[in-house]
């Protein structure tokens, strides 16, 4: 299985996710989410395959999210507007985003990784 992990190297959650993948001998391609953020189309595809609400893709605890006052905007904006916002800055995306092209997980929880990536 070939998977891609969109991550931010300084993010402890991303480091924990990569450690889990390494410990379970899962090969992955790491993409720096700020230097090479996914495009609007890629985010849309990730969202559609994830089965999650679009708001789950936002890094709601991030400084950038708070600075831009996105809490109210996320609640009222259309999906198209939200895809635009997410594609505008990799720091707005919750991380890590892990995909094998078919399924997608957002964030890191051991039990979800056990189910999806082992």
Name the residue ranges covered by the structural domains of the chain. 3-117
Percent of the chain past pLDDT 70, that is, above it, reads 99
Q: How confident is the model over 17-22, as a mean pLDDT?
A: 98
CB 113 within 8 A of CB 17: yes
> By C-alpha distance, which of 110, 111, 107, 83 is closest to 5?
107
What is the tens place of the pLDDT at every residue in 44-70?
Answer: 999 999 999 999 999 999 999 999 999
Q: What is the pLDDT of residue 82?
A: 97
Residues 6+ apart with CB under 8 A from 112: 105
> By C-alpha distance, which of 22, 16, 42, 40 is closest to 101?
42
Q: Regarding the domain delimited by 3-117, which CATH topology (the fold level of the hierarchy) does it fall under? A: Glutaredoxin (3.40.30)
Q: Is the pLDDT of residue 88 over 70?
A: yes
Extract the tokens encoding 50: 């994830």
What is the tens place of the pLDDT at every residue in 91-111?
Answer: 999 999 999 999 999 999 999
3-state secondary structure of 35: coil
> Residue length, the chain?
118
């Amino acid at each position: 299985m070939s998977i891609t992990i969109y991550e931010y190297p300084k993010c402890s959650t991303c480091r924990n996710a990569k450690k889990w993948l390494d410990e379970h001998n899962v090969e992955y391609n790491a993409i720096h989410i700020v230097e090479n953020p996914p495009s609007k189309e890629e985010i849309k595809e990730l969202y559609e395959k994830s089965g999650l609400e679009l708001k789950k893709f936002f890094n709601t605890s991030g400084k950038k999210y708070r600075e831009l006052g996105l809490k109210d905007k996320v609640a009222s904006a259309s999906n198209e507007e939200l895809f635009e916002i997410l594609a505008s800055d990799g720091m707005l995306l919750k991380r890590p985003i892990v995909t094998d092209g078919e399924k997608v997980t957002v964030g890191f929880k051991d039990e979800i990784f056990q189910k999806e990536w082992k």
